Amino acid sequence: MEQLKLGDIIIDVEIKDIKNVHLSVYPPSGRVRIAAPLRMNMDTIRIYTISKLTWIKKQQQRFLAQVREAPREYLNKEGHYFLGNRYLLKVIEQDAPSVVKLRHKTIELHVRPNTDIQKRQVIMDEWYRQQLKDIAPPIISKWEKVMNLSINELAVKKMKTKWGTCNREAKRIWLNLELTKKPFHCIEYIIVHEMVHLLERSHNATFVGYMDDFLPEWKQLKNELNKLPISHGEWTY
């Protein structure tokens, strides 16, 4: 992969067999990447990038200004989110298998005595993962009927730069584990977004047209999701 340097901005450049140029700015640090068609040389790519500098800087500033929570320590009365609601963590130490229980205003984390922070995080992450695996299938089933398509597989994993992604050939959708902490309608927006990619690969006019037809309020939902406080080291979509 080649690189361009424009002032203090470094751009990763990938030349590949595609029709159109794709410019992306990735959170949390504002890393810039261009995927360009084989027909474009580096001089042409440089000129194109210069024309987009204002947009690039705006995106970088937005990422850097986004509110981030402090790292979680998994201690009593620490705030944790589930489906957009804030719960206080209640740590219960007992000589029994670990379990997480959702209560009215608290999330109970049952762990063995002397369980360290890393292990507590693993337990919580697995609970969040299972919750999202339970939440997502009914949403997918609903939109399969609307879009007249089918999803073969759903997976949940931690992702550094996206809320979701999909494999068109395998008809597989991956969802970011952090989505479990966001409001239900934001989760639905991401699922619809990824399912539409099974109909249209790129974020072009066809893709936007599908989104406008299926979920007219998608732009508001996207803005809402990306304005929510994010976890330490989290990202936007």
Number of domains making up the chain: 2
DSSP state of 52: T
The answer to whether residues 92 and 168 belong to one domain is yes
Name the residue among 205, 208, 224, 204 with its Cα closest to residue 216.
208
Q: How far apart (Å, rounded) are the C-alpha atoms in residues 21 and 36?
A: 4
Please list the residues that pair with 102 across neighbouring strands.
107
Based on the fold, state whether residues 56 and 106 are members of the same structural domain.
no
The two three-digit tokens of residue 165, written as one number:
């992604």
Per-residue pLDDT of the chain (237 residues; tens, 9 = 90+): 788 888 889 999 999 888 889 898 876 668 899 999 989 999 999 999 999 999 999 888 877 766 666 788 999 999 999 999 999 999 999 999 999 999 999 999 999 999 999 999 999 999 999 999 999 999 999 999 999 999 999 999 998 778 999 999 999 999 999 999 999 999 999 999 999 999 998 888 999 999 999 999 999 999 888 777 666 444 444
Among residues 224, 160, 152, the alpha carbon closest in space to that of 188 is found at: 224
- 95 with 37, same domain? no
Is residue 209 one of the residues assigned to a domain? Answer: yes
Identify whether residues 105 and 195 lie together within a single domain.
yes
Domain around 132: 79-227
Is 161 in the same domain as 219? yes
Is residue 71 domain-resident? Answer: no
Q: How far is CA 124 from CA 45, 72, 129, 203, 209, in A?
A: 45, 11, 9, 34, 38
Same domain membership, residue 116 and residue 53: no
45, part of any domain:
yes
What is the Cα–Cα distance from 142 to 137, expressed in whole angstroms?
A: 9
Domain final residue, candidates 65, 88, 104 = 65
The model carries a pTM of: 0.76
Helix axes 218-227, 184-196, angle to 10 degrees: 120
Q: CB of 237 within 8 A of CB of 191?
A: no
Residues 92 and 139 grouped into a single domain: yes
| CATH code: domain of residue 116 | 3.30.2010.10
Residue 91 placed within a domain: yes
Quick one: 145 and 201 in the same domain? yes
Closest C-alpha among 8, 35, 27 to residue 234: 27
Q: Are 114 and 19 within one domain?
A: no
C-beta separation of 142 from 98 below 8 A = no
On the 0-12 / 13-18 / 19+ scale of CB atoms within 10 A, 172 is middle
d(CA 89, CA 75) in angstroms, rounded, equals 7
Domain assignment present for residue 235? The answer is: no
In a domain, 232, yes or no: no
Is residue 237 situated within a structural domain?
no
The SS3 assignment for 21 reads coil
Q: Is residue 233 part of a domain?
A: no
Residues 45 and 89 grouped into a single domain: no
